[in-house]
Amino acid sequence: MAWTKVELTTQETVEVYLGDSAQILCQYNVTDGNNQPSDLFVQWFVTSDIRVSRKLIFYGDDKKQKVVDNTDYSDRINVTLDHQEAQLTIQNVQLSDNRQFICHVQEKVFGFAVVTTDLRVFAPPDAPVIKDVMTGISVTNEMPSKVASCEVRNSFPEPNITWYKNSMPLMSSAGHANVSRDPRGFFSVQSTLEYKAVREDEDAYFSCEVSFFVPGGVRTLESNSINITVYYPSTKVEMWRELPQGLVKEGDTVELRCRGDGNPPPSFIFHRKQDQDVDLESSGHVLILSPVSRNHSGIYQCRPLDSDEYADVKGEIQLPVHYLDPAVVVPKDSEVMLKGEDLTATCNALSSLKTHTVWYKDGKQVGTGNTLHLQDATYGTTGQYHCEVSAPSFPALHSSGSVHIIVRGGPQLVGEDQEVQLEEAIGRMVNLSCEAEGSPLPSISWNIIGTQNWKEVVRKSNEYVAQSVVSVNVTSDIRALCNVCNDVGTEVKAFNIKAIPSVTTPAPFTPAKGSGVIIVVIILCLLLLAISSVLYFLYRKGIIPPGRSGNLDITSERTPKDDVIEMVTLQRVSLANYWLVHKHFLFSLMLIHSNSSSSSSVDQSF
């Protein structure tokens, strides 16, 4: 019976840098009992991370090959085959390629063989970075102190850190390492050096060295060197005020500093001389007081923490805090006063320095000193009064206050007369103006007796003054009352309008010949019109009693309604008398005309 045996050989380990290409060679030897050519089928696998399962990435023979789709290697591998070997090439090697690759060769009928190769990927780390943890080490510390830290990033596989002092390695116990791995798979190592210094280490230099694997060996990188300084106690201390420059006022941020002659400069504890048992919160050699008040005034001291507790080493400084309290104005907020009154306002502010006070109204200076006198107040006195208090020796120190003065007064009519007498022709339009000032702003209303034919044509006002103008049609005697009022008082202005009948001048004419009689008639007409006007005027004035037809009682109290009734009655009496006179006049005129006609006839007969 014929038999076939497949024998494989390959590298146990292949080492490559990250990003390079790796070649894994799988050589096979096929022994055929019949000395016949063998039909071989080659497969490449990769193991999983836990090396329990494997994944096919390639298969084929000398006629047909296939790279498996949808794997991490689908676009990064190629395989070359011949009758003696199969070479797997991996492009752009990744950290995930650090695994086992399996070559599986099968004689299609009789047998197969499997060999594995470990692919090792190397990524050199970044240069080590060393950082000071402290500026120095005190010789008084009983336990080892943290001196520095050393960090190495982006290495594969894990690197190792060694500490050196003056180029001499320190014991491994001097450093504590912390190893971490980022999501990409790179290792980072951070090591902290703890060391108990002696005075002779003042000028020592410390460094760290990282060792890491590369293909075929081990390499190292060394960090920069750092110097540590040994602390020793201070023997004298200086204390000063850094901020602010010049005088200090309430609300400022004060920065006090201390400096000792120790090495390095020590931290300090601060306190006030009058409260030595109370340590103030500070930062190293700096004490910040913010914001300061007058209660912070006093003597401040500082003591170095590195000094012997029995040594009297300290610094001190006097701190005066100046202040200017908020201005207090009396009266407070607002004050109401009557027109013509006097008022005294005061503005005071407690201060540690001499002060100066200035009063302002509407941006203009109206007085100096802490007292402001307002005399004989007018409406113009109303407003906001602002006082500014400052310290001439310290311009940054200032305060202010204000009071709002309100001047009130009853209405006051503008103009000399409160009773105005007017004579106007009947039918004319007359404008009556009423203007008044007051606070609060007065309101104006009208009461017009004698006519209903009027209207308001102007109404305007400003802060204190109101004005109203009405237009009145004179049809008869009129009495117009302007009523002005506000919360403080009331005023009335009266307008008495006497209605005068309008006189119309007749147009001139030229009498014709023989018209002397007509001229006489015209003269009589004019005379009659004049008599009628006089009678009407006398009736209106009450000089001629109306008689029984008037039905007026002159002893009774008169009302506006009575005036209207009287006017109508007088008009009736006047018209009755007028027509009576006219009646006699017309009769006389007819007689004259008759006589005139007779005379003309006689003249013609002659």
Q: Phi/psi class of residue 139: alpha, beta or left (left: φ > 0; alpha: ψ in -120 to 50)?
A: alpha
Full-model pTM? 0.43
- Partners of 7 in the β-ladder: 29
DSSP 11: -
Burial of 201 (0-12, 13-18, 19+ CB in 10 A): buried
Strand runs (DSSP E) across 293-348, as ranges?
Answer: 298-304, 315-319, 328-330, 333-338, 343-348
* Confidence class for position 173, pLDDT limits 50, 70, 90: low
Q: Is the pLDDT assigned to residue 592 strictly greater than 80?
A: no
Indicate whether 39 and 73 sit together in one domain: yes
DSSP 156: B
Indicate whether 243 and 212 sit together in one domain: no
Domain presence at residue 604: no
* pLDDT for res 597: 40
- Partners of 233 in the β-ladder: none
* pLDDT for res 342: 95
* pLDDT for res 253: 96
* Confidence class for position 177, pLDDT limits 50, 70, 90: confident
* pLDDT for res 385: 96
Question: Distance between CA atoms of 427 and 240, rounded to whole angstroms?
Answer: 97
Q: Is the pLDDT assigned to residue 399 strictly greater than 70?
A: yes
Is beta strand 217-222 parallel, antiparallel or unpaired with respect to 205-214? antiparallel
Output the CA–CA distances (angstroms, integers) from residue 492 to 435, 446, 485, 487, 495, in the order listed: 11, 10, 9, 15, 10
**Average pLDDT value for the chain:** 82
Q: What is the mean pLDDT of residues 271-290?
A: 91
Boundary of a domain, candidates 261, 289, 319: 319
Burial of 1 (0-12, 13-18, 19+ CB in 10 A): exposed
Crossing angle of the two packed helices 516-541 and 560-605, in degrees rounded to 10: 160
Domain presence at residue 508: no
* pLDDT for res 257: 96
The CATH code of the domain that includes 313 is: 2.60.40.10
Q: State what percent of residues in the chain have pLDDT above 90.
A: 56
Output the CA–CA distances (angstroms, integers) from residue 448 to 6, 89, 423, 439, in the order listed: 138, 120, 16, 26
CA atoms within 13 A on the CB side of 38: 28
Looking at the structure of the chain, the number of domains it has is 6
Q: Is the pLDDT assigned to residue 605 strictly greater than 50?
A: no
Boundary of a domain, candidates 93, 122, 151: 122
Domain presence at residue 506: no
Q: Is the pLDDT assigned to residue 315 strictly greater than 70?
A: yes
* Confidence class for position 552, pLDDT limits 50, 70, 90: very low
Q: What is the mean pLDDT of residues 349-362?
A: 95
Indicate whether 151 and 194 sit together in one domain: yes
* pLDDT for res 542: 60
Distance of CA 100 to the CA centre of its chain: 67
Indicate whether 264 and 156 sit together in one domain: no
Indicate whether 404 and 456 sit together in one domain: no
Indicate whether 175 and 187 sit together in one domain: yes
Torsions phi, psi of 376, nearest 5?
45, 65
Indicate whether 116 and 163 sit together in one domain: no
Domain boundaries, position 398: 328-409
Burial of 30 (0-12, 13-18, 19+ CB in 10 A): buried
Indicate whether 226 and 138 sit together in one domain: yes
Q: What is the mean pLDDT of residues 39-51?
A: 83
Burial of 421 (0-12, 13-18, 19+ CB in 10 A): exposed
Question: Distance between CA atoms of 399 and 328, rounded to whole angstroms?
Answer: 10
Output the CA–CA distances (angstroms, integers) from residue 452 to 448, 471, 472, 476, 478, in the order listed: 8, 11, 9, 11, 10
Q: Is the pLDDT assigned to residue 38 strictly greater than 80?
A: no
Indicate whether 17 and 107 sit together in one domain: yes
pLDDT in tens, 79-100: 998 878 899 999 999 999 999 9
Strand-by-strand arrangement of the 343-348 sheet: 328-330, 343-348, 371-374
Indicate whether 558 and 495 sit together in one domain: no
Q: What is the mean pLDDT of residues 29-43?
A: 71
Residue 576, H or E segment: helix 560-605
Output the CA–CA distances (angstroms, integers) from residue 574 to 215, 388, 539, 544, in the order listed: 145, 79, 7, 11
* Confidence class for position 556, pLDDT limits 50, 70, 90: very low
Q: What is the mean pLDDT of residues 525-554?
A: 56
- Partners of 336 in the β-ladder: 406
pLDDT in tens, 559-582: 333 333 233 333 333 444 444 444
* pLDDT for res 600: 36
Q: Is the pLDDT assigned to residue 551 strictly greater than 50?
A: no
Q: Between 581 and 489, where is the model more confident?
A: 489
* Confidence class for position 483, pLDDT limits 50, 70, 90: very high
Domain presence at residue 509: no
Q: What is the mean pLDDT of residues 556-560?
A: 37
Q: What is the mean pLDDT of residues 445-471?
A: 93
* Confidence class for position 361, pLDDT limits 50, 70, 90: very high
Distance of CA 219 to the CA centre of its chain: 62
Is beta strand 100-107 parallel, antiparallel or unpaired with respect to 112-122? antiparallel
Residue pair 188/155 in contact (Cβ under 8 Å)? The answer is yes
30-34, 417-421, 424-428: which range is least confident on average?
30-34
Q: Between 586 and 479, where is the model more confident?
A: 479
Domain presence at residue 26: yes
244 prior amide bond cis, ω within 30: yes
Please count the residues of the chain: 606
Q: What is the mean pLDDT of residues 258-286?
A: 89
Question: Distance between CA atoms of 149 and 64, rounded to whole angstroms?
Answer: 58
Per-residue b or e along 99-113, where b marks 16 or more CB atoms closer than 10 Å to that residue's CB: bebbbbbbbeebbeb
Boundary of a domain, candidates 182, 213, 230: 230
Domain presence at residue 424: yes
Per-residue b or e along 136-145, where b marks 16 or more CB atoms closer than 10 Å to that residue's CB: bbbbeeeeeb
pLDDT in tens, 107-125: 776 678 999 999 999 999 9
Tokens representing 486 are: 């506000």
Indicate whether 57 and 73 sit together in one domain: yes
Q: Identify which of 19, 17, 21, 20 has the alpha carbon closest to the alpha carbon of residue 88.
A: 21
In sequence order, which residues have a C-beta less than 8 Å from that of residue 567 and are 6 or more positions away?
476, 540
Q: Identify which of 296, 189, 293, 318 has the alpha carbon closest to the alpha carbon of residue 241.
A: 318
Domain presence at residue 511: no
Domain presence at residue 105: yes
Q: Identify which of 153, 151, 145 has the alpha carbon closest to the alpha carbon of residue 131.
A: 151
Q: Between 509 and 117, where is the model more confident?
A: 117
* Confidence class for position 510, pLDDT limits 50, 70, 90: very low
Indicate whether 29 and 113 sit together in one domain: yes
Question: Distance between CA atoms of 468 and 457, rounded to whole angstroms?
Answer: 8
129-143, 159-173, 491-505: which range is least confident on average?
129-143
Largest CA-CA distance found in the chain, in angstroms, rounded: 203
Question: Distance between CA atoms of 511 and 517, rounded to whole angstroms?
Answer: 10
Q: Between 452 and 521, where is the model more confident?
A: 452
Burial of 135 (0-12, 13-18, 19+ CB in 10 A): exposed
